Amino acid sequence: MLLMALGLMAVPVTAVGVAYACTALAVAETNVRTAAVGDTVTVTGKFFAPHDPADIRTAPAIVRMDRVDGPALAQASPTSNSAGGTFSVNITVPATDAGEHVVIVTQAGINGAPAYGTPARTVLRVTPAPAAAQAAAGAPAPAPAPAPAVAAPLATPFPAAGTSPTPARTRPRTRSQRIASCKRKYRVSSAKTQRGRRRMASKRRSCIRAASRPRTGSS
């Protein structure tokens, strides 16, 4: 009788072992291998336990990143076992450091423990968000380049009544002053080449001749 009892107990244990051996581990994948912060990525899974929202004994598959207890990015209801326990759901890549991250799909069983074959994992490489995505997320946008300064036109003051405009430059009134001005303006020693000195001397002589001519009201 003892041998028969042991044989009967071995039957369900063997059946359970065969059932688990025929059940595949849960698998998760993403439609892209690389995505930027803020991008939409599709996560698909198969071999998950079926979820019926009307049945409180079943639980949805929950998509997280890097930690099994991390914030839920999305949840989905896997199909029946006969349909492969599949699902497809979109997530938005959260703000995180650039580099490789693990997309984790968890699911609770009837007793609250992880469902058989879960969690499922896949790797997603995250790149920094473009400037437009950062601005949309509230990040400060780069300051616009300042507009080029436009010089204001110089105001030309009107002379007061009864006065004549003051000339910008007053000519020397005497012959000696005019000659001295020519000598200051055309200094031969300031030229760097012999040709330049000859030209400077010629201009100086012409200026002195013009300054030496008698003018009305000059001495």
Give the tens place of pLDDT for each residue, 155-170.
Answer: 555 555 555 555 555 5
Three-class SS of the chain = CHHHHHHHHHHHHHHHHHHHHCCCCCEEEECCCEEECCCEEEEEEECCCCCCCCCCCCCCEEEEECCCCCCCCEEECCCCHHHCCCEEEEEECCCCCCEEEEEEEEEECCCCCECCCCCEEEEEEEECCCHHHHHHCCCCCCCCCCCCCCCCCCCCCCCCCCCCCCCCCCCCCCHHHHHHHHHHHCCHHHCCCHHHHHHHHHHHHHHHHHHHCCCCCCC
**Predicted local confidence at residue 21, as pLDDT:** 42
Q: What percent of the chain has pLDDT over 70?
A: 68
Instruction: Give which of 186, 29, 35 is closest to 120, Cα–Cα.
Output: 29
User: Confidence band (pLDDT; 50, 70, 90) for 149?
Assistant: low
- The answer to which of 5-14, 65-74, 96-105, 205-214 has the lowest mean pLDDT is 5-14
Q: Pick the most confident of 14-23, 71-80, 110-119, 192-201.
A: 71-80
On the question of pLDDT at 138 being above 80, the answer is: no
Mean pLDDT, rounded, of the chain: 79
Within 8 A by CB and 6+ apart from 10, the residues are none
Q: Is the pLDDT of residue 123 over 50?
A: yes
pLDDT (tens digit per residue) in 167-195: 555 555 688 888 888 888 888 787 788 88
Omega before 119 within 30 of 0, i.e. cis: yes
Rounded to two decimals, the pTM is: 0.52
pLDDT of 122 over the 90 cut: yes
pLDDT of residue 20: 41
Of all residues in the chain, what percent carry a pLDDT higher than 90?
Answer: 45
Is the pLDDT assigned to residue 28 strictly greater than 90?
yes
Taking each helix axis as running N to C, give the angle between helix 194-212 and helix 175-185, from 0 to 180 degrees, rounded to the nearest 10: 170
Inform me whether the pLDDT recorded for 58 exceeds 70. Answer: yes
User: Could you tell me the maximum CA-CA distance found in the chain, to the nearest angstrom?
Assistant: 154
pLDDT value, residue 53: 92
pLDDT over 70 at 22, yes or no: no
Q: Facing residues of 61 across strands?
A: 76, 107
Closest Cα partner for 59 from 26, 19, 18, 103? 26
